[in-house]
Amino acid sequence: MKHDLEKHKNCNKEYCSICVGGLALCTVCGGAEMTLTTDCCERPLTEAECDLIINSELDFKNRIWVRSD
């Protein structure tokens, strides 16, 4: 499944990290920028998974977790 990236309509914040800053944030898994996997795992990421993803040791693609040790 592709990530469902958060989008704002009529955002009136003085500075919005999504609208102005271009932050990519998945509304399903909670992944953002460095913690976005290739595909969405369709559930919230754990802190341990985020650490491994940031370190390029873990990815989710084609519906499976892939380790790159």
pLDDT at 15: 92
Tell me the one-letter amino acid at 49.
E
pLDDT at 42: 98
CA distance linking residue 60 with residue 20, whole number of Å: 28
Q: How far is CA 64 from CA 40, 41, 61, in A?
A: 10, 8, 6
**Which residues does residue 5 pair with via DSSP β-bridges, in sequence order?**
26
- Alpha-helical (H) ranges within 1-69 are 47-54
Domains in the chain: how many in total?
Answer: 1
pLDDT at 22: 86
In tens, the pLDDT along 15-69 reads 999 998 889 999 999 999 999 999 999 999 999 999 999 999 999 999 999 998 6
pLDDT at 69: 64
The domain in which residue 40 lies consists of 1-69
Query: Taking the model in full, what pTM does it have?
Result: 0.86
